[in-house]
Amino acid sequence: MKRFAALFTALDQTTKTTAKVTALAEYFTDAPKPDRLWTIALLSGRRPKRTVTTTALREWAAERAGIPLWLFEESYPIVGDLAETIALVLPPPSATSDRSLTDWIGDIRALATADEPARKAAILAAWDALPTSERFVFNKLITGGFRMGVSRKLMTRALAKATGVDEPALAHRLMGDWTPDSTTFDDLIHTPDPTANLSRPYPFYLAYQLDDGPDVLGDPADWAAEFKWDGIRGQLIRRGGAHHLWSRGEDLMTDRFPELAAALDFLPDGTVLDGEVLAWTDNAPLPFAALQKRIGRKTVPKKLLAEAPVILQAYDLLEDGGTDIRERPFAHRRARLEALLAGIPQNAPFRASPLLPFDTWDALAETRATARAEGAEGVMLKRRDAPYRDGRKKGDWWKWKLDPLVIDAVMIYAQSGHGRRANLFTDFTFAVWSGNDLVPFTKAYSGLTDAEFREITAWVRKNTLERFGPVRRVTPEHVFEIAFEGIQASTRHKSGIALRFPRMSRWRHDKPVQEANTLSDLQAMLETYG
């Protein structure tokens, strides 16, 4: 644990990429192999499940520190992190420990089957054997909120430096449903069995936002374009007589979308499609809200299958006949995709996302303007001679999204943030006018600068009308422009409206509260864009 805590501290104390890569590479070279494997798992989102409630941890920490619980609770927002607050209030340890990261994670996982007294005894014993820096890391692991400020790409780069294995090969090996229980460091990194995990997806290629228009990209003839669909990015894998569907976040979604089992009937073995899962009916996409009803379900009732059937709108072919073709130009992969899907019945739940014809950037801009009516968010641009890369690399894939929808709204509630924002009010509830009343319709917590968050925080503290736990009702004085990507009807909200990706795009110092938008304005937008 000492070595891992030192790594955590080194990463936390720098923002320089080279310094982080160096620290990680040294760790991956020198640490015990089981610890290296668990570190890779932690940095790729494979964290141990939470085995103790945060309520219990707060109570036990206050008891061990000899302070009243209210004082601990007052300290928590000041520190801004529960794991760090616990580590700081505890008395110095009376024992020492040289146990490894793997050992401690084993203890944490074992708590899942222990009763409450046994859990408490184990946690108190751990706190008493670890110094502050190691307690902090231990607490992070307990709470399940482990973050190290390291992207998977940066971790993969450091691992390549430490092991000599090519970064693209490592990126692929780290995908899929492996866990430290199912493999070893050497098997995962140095001697992977290509048949061991036939469900393994490829690393996703991610696009950059194009803010200034496509004129900077050169000759339009070098580029292909298609609509940017508003669904769930996924890879459909047909290997070994089975099919698998993976999300971009490495969530295995196969059971949630049983329609795509048709891959077994229509796609040849050794095929991997990259595309967008969309709720689809009458040859058009349904709003994302229809798809959202299916996201959290392991099984889908027949009624929902009928209301929101899905398709995979495929826009790339990554594996063809069992051969990885990601290094081939996009134009070649696209031609192979179209040939593969050409003979499939029209009612099959996958199809090639249509390419958009254009010969000038102005012509593409005119097509882009129709995207919202087509159920899309804008257009994607892909260089015809580009390979399929992994991660977010600038130059070959661009997303040219539509300008967001906007509404002017009044801030009526405020709540403090978390982590480094725990001392600031950053989470706000906004309302629009309905007659003489302000009706809440959305929450937003991003879009302002740090200086603006500090300014609004000072104002909230002076203008609080009521407190409801962590929430403060404030004087309705400030208007904010709220930007959002979509709007739909909602029975869960008092306003009857729900927004997609709301954020604060501007603080309207120039606009009095009386000139904020109305619920009727939102309803008109719903009729137009919902």
Residue range 386-400: mean pLDDT, rounded: 92
DSSP annotation string for 276-289: EEEEEETTEEPPHH
pLDDT of residue 503: 95
Number of other CB atoms surrounding residue 511 within 10 Å? 16
Q: What is the mean pLDDT of the chain?
A: 90
- How would residue 393 be classed by pLDDT, with cut points 50, 70 and 90? confident
Q: What are the Cα distances from residue 129, in Å, to 26, 108, 132, 134, 499?
A: 26, 15, 10, 9, 49
How far apart are the C-alpha atoms of 38 and 102, rounded to whole Å?
7
How far apart are the C-alpha atoms of 436 and 458, rounded to whole Å?
28
pLDDT digits (tens, 9 = 90+) for 198-221: 888 999 999 999 988 899 999 999
Lookup result for tokens 């160096």? 22
Residue range 444-467: mean pLDDT, rounded: 93
CB burial of 432-460 (b: ≥16 within 10 Å; e: otherwise) equals: bbeeeebbbbbebbebbeeeebeebbebb
Residue range 189-194: mean pLDDT, rounded: 75
Return the minimum-mean-pLDDT range out of 22-26, 156-160, 292-296, 400-404.
292-296
How far apart are the C-alpha atoms of 48 and 43, rounded to whole Å?
12
pLDDT of residue 195: 60
According to DSSP H, which parts of 374-509 are helical? 450-462
pLDDT of residue 194: 63
473 within 8 A of 466, measured Cβ to Cβ: yes
pLDDT digits (tens, 9 = 90+) for 355-373: 999 999 999 999 999 998 8
pLDDT of residue 419: 63
Nearest CA to 205 out of 25, 390, 22, 349 is that of 390
pLDDT digits (tens, 9 = 90+) for 73-106: 888 877 778 888 999 999 999 888 889 999 999 9
Phi, psi for residue 474 in degrees, rounded to 5: -120, 165
Return the minimum-mean-pLDDT range out of 127-141, 146-160, 333-347.
146-160
- How would residue 424 be classed by pLDDT, with cut points 50, 70 and 90? confident
190 within 8 A of 165, measured Cβ to Cβ: yes
pLDDT digits (tens, 9 = 90+) for 262-293: 999 999 999 999 999 999 988 889 888 888 88
How far apart are the C-alpha atoms of 12 and 137, rounded to whole Å?
12
Position 177 pLDDT exceeds 90 = no
Residue range 425-438: mean pLDDT, rounded: 94
Strands 205-206 and 391-392: parallel
- How would residue 58 be classed by pLDDT, with cut points 50, 70 and 90? very high
Residue range 480-500: mean pLDDT, rounded: 89
pLDDT of residue 24: 94
Residue range 111-137: mean pLDDT, rounded: 92
Q: Please tell me which residue, 81 or 59, carries the higher pLDDT value.
A: 59
Number of other CB atoms surrounding residue 427 within 10 Å? 18
Q: Please tell me which residue, 493 or 23, carries the higher pLDDT value.
A: 23
Both tokens of residue 236?
């459909």
How far apart are the C-alpha atoms of 155 and 27, rounded to whole Å?
11
pLDDT digits (tens, 9 = 90+) for 7-17: 988 888 888 88
CB burial of 479-500 (b: ≥16 within 10 Å; e: otherwise) equals: bbbbbbbbbbeeeeeebebbbb
What residues are annotated to the active site?
228
Position 298 pLDDT exceeds 70 = no
Lookup result for tokens 């199809």? 351
pTM exceeds cut of 0.75: no
- How would residue 40 be classed by pLDDT, with cut points 50, 70 and 90? very high
Position 126 pLDDT exceeds 90 = yes
pLDDT of residue 120: 95
Residue range 311-317: mean pLDDT, rounded: 96
How far apart are the C-alpha atoms of 176 and 319, rounded to whole Å?
16
DSSP H or E run through 29:
helix 17-30
pLDDT digits (tens, 9 = 90+) for 505-529: 999 999 999 999 999 999 999 888 8
pLDDT of residue 117: 93
Both tokens of residue 406?
């906007």
pLDDT of residue 407: 96
Question: 146-153 long-range CB contacts below 8 Å, 24 or more apart?
Answer: 146/42, 146/47, 148/8, 148/11, 148/12, 148/42, 148/43, 149/11, 149/12, 149/20, 150/11, 150/20, 150/24, 150/43, 152/43, 152/44, 152/391, 153/390, 153/391, 153/392
